[in-house]
Amino acid sequence: MMAVKGMTIHQAAVRPAPLVDPFGRAITYLRVSATDRCDFRCVYCMAENMAFLPKQDLLTLEELDRVCSAFVTRGVRKLRITGGEPLVRRGIMGLFESLGRHLRAGMLDELTLTTNGSQLAKYAASLKACGVERVNVSLDTLDPDKFRAVTRWGDLGKVMAGIDAAQAAGLKVKINTVALRDVNEDELPHLVAWAHGRAMDITLIEVMPLGDIGDARLDQYLPLSLVRARLGERFTLEDIDYRTGGPARYVRVQETGGRLGFITPLTHNFCESCNRVRLTCTGTLYMCLGQEDAADLRTPLRMSESNGLLDAAIESAIARKPKGHDFVIDRRHRRPSLSRHMSVTGG
Ligand code: SAM
């Protein structure tokens, strides 16, 4: 029989039984924070003087590959590399290159990333060569001064060059925009028209109460129900069935023909169809973005060169996946409902 990367065709075609949680949800999607570091300091995400993890606490790229591959062996079909900013981790393209083997073997449907775009001009062509087809680029404003104010350290020109390079390399780009009261709320119709004019979907995200950022997120919170109503005055929004397996709900904007998504963790619950878990760069597995319970995968990973202990730890973690989260923006205490930052768990 012919071999495909060390496997027979017969073996390559066999789909392993997926990991299934106590609520019958198959876990087919792993998000991996490759680093907690970032070259931006978005005001709703990080404090300016963030303390980052010591480098020795991080999984090496080889260890990240090993954990990802263990999940792929157990039926995960989609990997998203995120952060922090994944493209600032030294050697990160080596991880994409090595994970690309699972695409070629038919074990993985998608390898993708979420990025702030600052390094995309450098890496877009290599990402495409590794088998990446789509990237999510986070972008909250098209105004260079506002962009600098929101990201504290970012340069809009570099992100635009990154988006250009990604499209030129043949990557499909989706824009993610956090809706921020008094910051970009007036600009959202323009952002939608701009994204659709460049053949990019755009998803709007509500601010989530994750991580202490030094000032109250209540001031930034803008309910998407309101945003949607306002966009509805400007555009004709048509509900569509399109799903990416994620929490976004989509509409078609009739005037542009483009797709617009809404992620509303605070005003709607999207847990019943949750198919994902999240791995931090230190090897901690969070079974829910909005709950504290987590499993340490680094210890079993490092205790043995074979994957028996790791597999057992993954199984017992999935058996504890909670039914859902209960984020609240705590109006009384003005505190985040979870102390860890999005940059730790991976956005
Ligand atoms: N650096 C990459 C990027 O910029 O996309 C990946 C990590 S970033 C944490 C992922 C996404 O999370 C970004 O779209 C960011 O805007 C979003 N994000 C960060 N903190 C958030 C919060 N508290 N509420 C909602 N979205 C948040």
| Cα distances (Å, whole numbers) of residue 111 to 55, 81, 100, 102 | 25, 8, 7, 9
Query: Structure tokens of 92?
Result: 């990160």
Give DSSP secondary structure letters for 127-163. HHHTT--EEEEE---S-HHHHHHHHSS--HHHHHHHH
Element (H, E) at 260: strand 259-263
Q: Answer whether 247 contacts ligand 1 (Cβ < 6 A).
A: no
Q: Answer whether 85 contacts ligand 1 (Cβ < 6 A).
A: yes
Q: Answer whether 70 contacts ligand 1 (Cβ < 6 A).
A: no
For residue 258, which of 341, 191, 196, 173 has the smallest C-alpha distance? 196
Q: Answer whether 184 contacts ligand 1 (Cβ < 6 A).
A: no
For residue 136, which of 98, 178, 100, 94 has the smallest C-alpha distance? 178
Ligand 1: residue whose CA is nearest its atom 25? 207
For ligand 1, mutation pick of 31, 40, 80, 114 (most atoms within 8 Å of CB): 114
Query: Structure tokens of 96?
Result: 């994409």
For residue 117, which of 46, 202, 174, 58 has the smallest C-alpha distance? 174
Q: What distance in angstroms lies between residue 35's CA and the mean position of ligand 1's atoms?
A: 13
Ligand 1: residue whose CA is nearest its atom 21? 45
Residue 110 in contact with residue 78, Cβ under 8 Å? yes
Cβ atoms < 10 Å from Cβ of 2: 8
Ligand 1: residue whose CA is nearest its atom 13? 138
**What pLDDT does residue 267 have?**
54
**What pLDDT does residue 219 have?**
79
Distant-in-sequence, close-in-space partners of 243: CB < 8 Å, separation ≥ 6 = 250
Mean pLDDT in order along the chain per 10 residues (347 residues): 42 66 96 97 90 93 98 97 97 98 98 98 98 98 97 97 98 97 96 98 88 64 93 97 82 98 72 90 92 94 96 97 70 53 63
For ligand 1, mutation pick of 138, 176, 341 (most atoms within 8 Å of CB): 138
| Cα distances (Å, whole numbers) of residue 287 to 274, 290, 293, 312 | 10, 9, 7, 15
**What pLDDT does residue 2 have?**
37
CA distance 84 to 342: 8
**What pLDDT does residue 26 have?**
95
